[in-house]
Amino acid sequence: MGLKKFKPTTPGQRHKVNSTYSEVTTNVPEKALTKGTKKSGGRNNDGKMTMRYIGGGHKQKYRVIDFKRNKLEIPATVKTIEYDPNRTARIALLYYADGEKRYIIAPDGLKVGDTVVSGKTATPTVGNAMYLSDIPLGTVIHNIELKPGKGGAIARGAGTYAQLNARDGRYAIVKMPSGETRMILITCMATIGAVSNSEHSLVVSGKAGRTRWMGRRPRVRGVVMNPVDHPMGGGEGRNAGGHPRSRNGMPAKGFKTRAKKKYSDRFIIEKRKK
């Protein structure tokens, strides 16, 4: 895994920084674990645009990922490390001893030929999935469940990880990627290690066209719109008045939108840093 800079042979190459894809071992996905996707263009079932700045983009196939890791006590061998257009992390194809194949999010350091297992018999090595009750304190983890059996929901993006800090009765105390410290049931599962492709945040597309390939249309600032289109629109020349706010009038830059009596507040020990 690494980055490469390009010689400025064209304006689009001048500032481009891309991944070397050195860890990727194949460019052909497992057909049985893929399915077609349709692009919405930001439109709902009435054809009305409900999300702006979405459209176009390269055709993609969705890779079905096993976030639950519920094939317990059955060892699996890593067959390939692959690129996934639907997420920032790399994915790994597992061949289980009983013949089944599954994709998982590839942790940093997992290589072709490695063996991984999930359940009570697993050891705390990279790629193994264990219950929070069995993971040693201080271990770096990812793909963490919030509800037992529902599948991993926390720390799935490139380079992200959480840390198991302590256990208190039925709960494990986990420091989240955001810096928040919260309680999670010890019957939930997590995978050992940090997520792969940690240098994803350093990639520079180099040109607007590459952003369009990803399905993102140009984003228009509210202050350059007309008053009918945005609360911050209008004004003569560059005189854009008013308080910063969203299109529906929700104040921006510091206004807290979290519900004051949210059910999960009782599980949060320390809120994320500003």
Region 55-69: mean pLDDT is 97
Kindly report the backbone phi and psi dihedral angles of residue 77, in degrees, each rounded to the nearest multiple of 5, phi listed first: -105, 135
Region 130-146: mean pLDDT is 98
Cα 236–chain centre separation: 42
Residue 74's alpha-carbon distances to 30, 105, 270, in angstroms, are: 20, 18, 37
- pLDDT for 221 equals 92
Region 155-173: mean pLDDT is 97
pLDDT tens column, 28-39: 999 999 999 999
Lowest mean pLDDT segment, chosen from 27-31, 41-45, 134-138, 221-225 = 221-225
- pLDDT for 242 equals 78
- Give the Cα separation of 110 and 17 in Å (integer): 24
Taken in order of first residue, the domains within the chain and their CATH numbers are: 3-201 (2.40.50.140), 220-263 (4.10.950.10)
Region 168-178: mean pLDDT is 97
